[in-house]
Amino acid sequence: MMKIRSLFAVLILLSAGNGVAHATTYALPENSNDSVITQFHDDVPLTRAEQDETLLDVARRFLLGQAEIVRLNPDVDRWHIKKDEIVRLPNKRILPDTPHEGITLNIAEYRMYYYPPVQKGVAPQVMSYAHGVGRQDWKTPMGKTSIVQKVKDPAWHPPESIRREHAANGDPLPAVVPPGPHNPLGAYKMHLAVPGGYLIHGTDIDKIYGIGMQITHGCVRMYPEDIEALYNSVPVGTPVYIVKQPIKVGWLDNTLYIEAHPDLEGEETTLAQKVDTALKLIQKAAMTASAPAQNPPEFDRAALNKALTALDGNPVALYQRLPQPVSLSATGHAPIIR
């Protein structure tokens, strides 16, 4: 009964807001060795459809990626949700294994993590945004780079390769697409220090439901309000880490979690390969200073197999250790929940 009441309370909370949600801001864990962030107290936050709509409309309202919300709701008709139908939303996320500075793009989960500079008296935070990534034949490059230029209301000069592709499909492009609602770059773009002209940019109204999918020509595409917030927050020179981590492992409050996502288009790993990757990450997590190595730790094998089979991006608990000493955040106090 308590569980039902708890879920109902979250359901009402998430149905009360009007319009589009703001970007999700998470407080970083109190323990500096923990890497799982949580938005809601309930493990399974839910929302009601406000009207007859699609799952993509719900994703748009909560600034979620299309693939993300579809994987969390495998039994829901993507194209037809009836008014008051229940939709599951994401909650916990495991931070990618990168420095907690600047921007991290985890291509495997179509999601970005921005770590604002720590301010005196404010607990460290991370902001998370959905984004689209490059298709199989236009892969987004991996590695560390930085933002080298920012442009508001950009015109788009389609590269010759893209113009040839569109012409071959009977959809010729002009040499220049001026700023406006149908400009594929949206209202903001940020250049990365990567050969080939890779960008982080907004989107046009025609492709807004493609956020959170593998659809671009290599660039990183974001919702209009998300790219605006990011553009106004990050200066030129901000480091950007582009990684591909479909399987992530991390601690929260002495519980070890695993988060698994499907392979990108054009890539395929077997279950055995996924298990091997997961075991290495579990062993690495068990060797942290606050969790002395066990060879290997006694974790829930059934939960591991379920996570690696479902591949829904929902963190699953694998193992609980004895309480460890807490390492406070850089500010010396617990995070503030926003």
pLDDT tens-digit profile of 53-91?
999 999 999 999 988 999 999 999 999 999 999 999 999
Q: Are residues 227 and 121 in the same domain?
A: yes
Q: Is residue 172 part of a domain?
A: no
Give the per-residue pLDDT at 197.
Answer: 75
Task: Say which range, 102-116, 156-170, 174-188, has the weakest mean pLDDT.
Answer: 156-170
Of 228, 243, 258, the domain-final residue: 243
Catalytic residue among 131, 201, 217, 261: 201
| Contact by Cβ (8 Å): 91, 38 | yes
- Asked if 219 is an active-site residue, the reply is yes
Q: Are residues 115 and 198 in the same domain?
A: yes
Summarize pLDDT for 29-62 with one digit per residue, the tens: 988 889 999 987 767 788 888 899 999 999 999 9
Task: Say how many domains are in the chain.
Answer: 3
Q: Is 309 a domain residue? A: yes
Residue 274 belongs to some domain of the structure: yes
Same-domain check for residues 87 and 58 = yes
Lowest mean pLDDT among 176-190, 204-218, 220-234, 263-277: 204-218
Q: Are 135 and 215 in contact (CB under 8 A)?
A: yes
**Whether residue 254 sits in one domain with residue 220:** no
Report pLDDT for 292: 53
- Which residue among 131, 191, 217, 219 is the active-site one? 219
Task: Indicate if 111 and 238 belong to the same structural domain.
Answer: yes
Q: Which of 73, 94, 115 is the last residue of a domain?
A: 94
Hey, what are 307's tokens?
A: 């996570």
223 shares a domain with 201: yes
As a whole number of angstroms, the distance between CA 63 and CA 228 comes to: 13
Q: pLDDT for 271-315, tens place per residue?
A: 999 999 999 999 999 887 454 555 667 889 999 999 999 999 999
In angstroms, the Cα distances linking 237 to 103, 118, 149, 178, 319 are: 11, 17, 8, 27, 40
Instruction: Go through 275-296 and write b for each residue having 16 or more CB atoms within 10 A of its CB, e for each that does not.
Output: bebbeebbeebbeeeebeeeee
131 and 37 inside one domain: no
Q: What is the CATH number of the domain that holds 219?
A: 2.40.440.10
**Do 22 and 140 fall into the same domain?**
no
Q: Which of 305, 252, 249 lies closest to 280, judged by CA? A: 249
Distances (CA, A) of 22 to 1, 212, 296: 32, 16, 41
Q: With contact defined as beta carbons under 8 Å apart, do 303 and 316 qualify?
A: yes
3-state SS assignment for residue 26: strand
Domain co-membership, 137 together with 198: yes
* DSSP class of 107: G
Residues 219 and 107 in one domain: yes
DSSP 146-185: EEEEEEES--B---HHHHHHHHHTT----S-B-SSTT-TT
The residue-averaged pLDDT of 237-249 equals 96
- Do residues 33 and 74 both lie within one domain? yes
The closest of 214, 64, 240 to 140, measured between CA atoms, is 214
pLDDT at 293: 52
End-to-end CA distance of the chain: 28
Domain that holds residue 121: 102-151+185-243
Answer whether 0.95 is exceeded by the pTM.
Answer: no
Q: Are residues 120 and 227 in the same domain?
A: yes
Provide, rounded to the nearest whole percent, the portion of the chain with pLDDT above 70.
77
